[in-house]
Amino acid sequence: MKKTSNQMLIIFGASGDLTARKLIPAIYNLYKGNHLPDNFVVLGVSRSNMDSDEFRSRVVLESEFLKGKIGKEKKEFIQNFADKLFYEDLGTDYDTSYEKLANRIKQLDQEHGTAGNLIFYLSTPPSLYETIAKNLHEQGLTQENEGWKRIIVEKPFGYDLASAKELNHGLHTYFKEEQVYRIDHYLGKETVQNLLVTRFSNSIFEPLWNRRYIHHVEITNAETVGVEKRGGYYDKSGAFRDMFQSHLLQIVSLIVMEPPISADPEEIRDEKVKALKSIRLMKDEETIIKNTLRGQYVASNIKGEKVKGYREEEGVNPDSTTETFAAIKFFVDNWRWKDVPFYVRTGKAMPTKVTEVVIHFKAPHHEVFKSQDVYKKDNKLVIRIQPDEGILLKFGVKIPGLGFHVEQANMDFYYSDLDSAQVMDAYERLLLDAMQGDTTLYARADEVEAAWKFVDPILKCWENNPSVNTYGYAAGTWGPRNSDDLIEDSFGWRNPGDLLTDESGFCILC
């Protein structure tokens, strides 16, 4: 097991939602699971006027996000956790002298024996990344002469290619790339990591993982919720920036990549970058319009309840054409994937929450049971990222009786059947990796830029071209009906249900 050195985690934006909702619960889980080092301190930093006790009450003792977890524990155990947390008020501006902050860090470091090892977690808008990095640097807090220094930054990493490059440049002015951890919480999901294991630890899949046997690859990411309280952010972002540029392209890179030389972080990241660079760029408008589709949910009734349309959501422009659904077809220009189409879609206000990858295999070259229609039911490998996590293989079997009637059978595996150690939540896993200096599941600068390079021309075309439509779809359905037209020569999207083996079809009314 890797060692976790004594250290201090300094969270910028500590009074924000992410800290209470995700970060502190993840640190609490690490505490409960005995993964924290002996000497460990969290210092929350932001612009709210509060002291350490108020911070502890807010994010631990009275936190609605920890209630379920700490309710059953002994008071002393919880207090011991809360006592690891401290707070420093930065005043009115993040761009200020960090001298007082530096003194507080020094004092806590000495009192708690954290060995000068510091992780700065920036849970702030990206526009503050460079400012914070500069001010830390001015106080000597980025230098590694006494203990290591790391910086974790949240998504979105940039708004387009130019701003992502600017952010990278800004961070690289004060930190070396090895010190920078760009978080993508999808990489913290066990099932996303399992894509690597499924491919590279089984000799039954890898020989088939190429253009000779794969007909097409399909990825669906669906959420039942709308934009909730994030209308202001989302309306400027849209589904393609919010989900595709980061999480879904990360999944694509794991499916597309070549086998890495070893499990070393840089070897894996090198292959992922190569994979992203090999996705064929769509440069002209005609190609983009033909191969992409935008949708937006409109009001509907789901299970007897009226559901708002996107334009009626708080913070959203009532004339907005921002997409809450995006679908795309693209190709990968390399030896392995030549001519294999990839179809990816993501959407909010859809029938079920699900993320899955479906590998559709080609029909056998010589069709012996031609009359049986079986070739229309391709072999599929369904890798379910969430929920009801698991893997499903669909293959043809003979129906007992006369003749050769073929039907599809399911072979399924469920993560919940494993009785091994408890599965870590994504933030928990990623935080522990950063604490141990493991960058494998963090995006590298060139990786993020390669993703933006593909996404950028599409977003520009959508923004600048009035003939790009945003199609409406009733909240609670599988997106605009014409998204099926994107998949030619096959059977449209697999519309999954709540469970791995469900196939719900286009629309369920209840």
Beta bridge partners of 149: 118
Residue 229 Cβ vs ligand BG6, minimum distance, rounded to whole Å: 11
Residue 473 Cβ vs ligand BG6, minimum distance, rounded to whole Å: 17
**Interface positions, 470-489, toward ligand BG6 (CB under 6 A):** none
Residue 139 Cβ vs ligand BG6, minimum distance, rounded to whole Å: 31
Q: How many residues bind ligand BG6 (CB under 6 A)?
A: 3
Q: DSSP code of 370?
A: G
Residue 164 Cβ vs ligand BG6, minimum distance, rounded to whole Å: 16
Angle at Cα 191 formed by Cα 187 and Cα 192, nearest 5°?
A: 35
Burial class (CB in 10 A: 0-12, 13-18, 19+), 176: exposed
Q: Looking at beta carbons only, is 6 or 123 nearer to ligand BG6?
A: 123
For residues 156 and 126, is the Cβ–Cβ distance under 8 A? yes
The string of DSSP letters for 440-503 reads TTSB-HHHHHHHHHHHHHHHHHHHH-TT--EEEEETTSSS-GGGGGGSTTS-----B-SSTT-B
**Interface positions, 116-175, toward ligand BG6 (CB under 6 A):** 155
Is residue 216 among the annotated active site residues? no
Q: Looking at beta carbons only, is 231 or 341 nearer to ligand BG6?
A: 231
Q: DSSP code of 368?
A: T
Give Cα separations from 360 to 151, 208, 451 (angstroms): 40, 11, 24
Q: Looking at beta carbons only, is 116 or 476 nearer to ligand BG6?
A: 476
Instruction: Say whether residue 218 binds ligand BG6 (CB under 6 A).
Output: no
Residue 111 Cβ vs ligand BG6, minimum distance, rounded to whole Å: 36
Which of 88, 242, 271, 388 lies at the binding interface for ligand BG6 (CB under 6 A)? 242
Rounded to an integer, what is the distance from CA 181 to the centroid of its chain? 14
State the amino acid at position 45 in one-letter form. V
The active-site residue, picked from 35, 185, 216, 247, is 247
Residue 353 Cβ vs ligand BG6, minimum distance, rounded to whole Å: 7
Find the residue with minimal CB distance to ligand BG6.
242
Q: Looking at beta carbons only, is 223 or 270 nearer to ligand BG6?
A: 223
Q: Looking at beta carbons only, is 309 or 347 nearer to ligand BG6?
A: 347
Q: Looking at beta carbons only, is 223 or 313 nearer to ligand BG6?
A: 223
- How many other C-beta atoms lie within 10 A of the C-beta of residue 57? 13
Q: Looking at beta carbons only, is 40 or 234 nearer to ligand BG6?
A: 234
For residues 20 and 129, is the Cβ–Cβ distance under 8 A? no
Of residues 483, 478, 217, the one with CA closest to residue 358? 217
Q: H/E element holding 234?
A: helix 231-237
Residue 231 Cβ vs ligand BG6, minimum distance, rounded to whole Å: 11
Residue 442 Cβ vs ligand BG6, minimum distance, rounded to whole Å: 15
The string of DSSP letters for 12-70 reads ETTTSHHIIIIIHHHHHHHHHTT-S-SSEEEEEEESS---HHHHHIIIIIT-TTTHHHH
Q: Looking at beta carbons only, is 242 or 378 nearer to ligand BG6?
A: 242
For residues 213 and 361, is the Cβ–Cβ distance under 8 A? yes
Q: What are phi and psi of 56, to 5 degrees?
A: -65, -40
- The C-alpha atoms of residue 393 and residue 385 are separated, in whole angstroms, by 15
Residue 376 Cβ vs ligand BG6, minimum distance, rounded to whole Å: 32
Beta bridge partners of 306: 301
Angle between helices 445-464 and 265-277 (to 10 degrees): 20
Q: Looking at beta carbons only, is 242 or 428 nearer to ligand BG6?
A: 242
Which of 88, 109, 154, 223 lies at the binding interface for ligand BG6 (CB under 6 A)? 223
Intra-chain end-to-end CA distance of the chain, in Å: 50
Give Cα separations from 470 to 223, 251, 374, 415, 482 (angstroms): 19, 25, 37, 38, 11
Residues that are catalytic: 247
Which residues are near ligand BG6 by CB under 6 A? Answer: 155, 223, 242
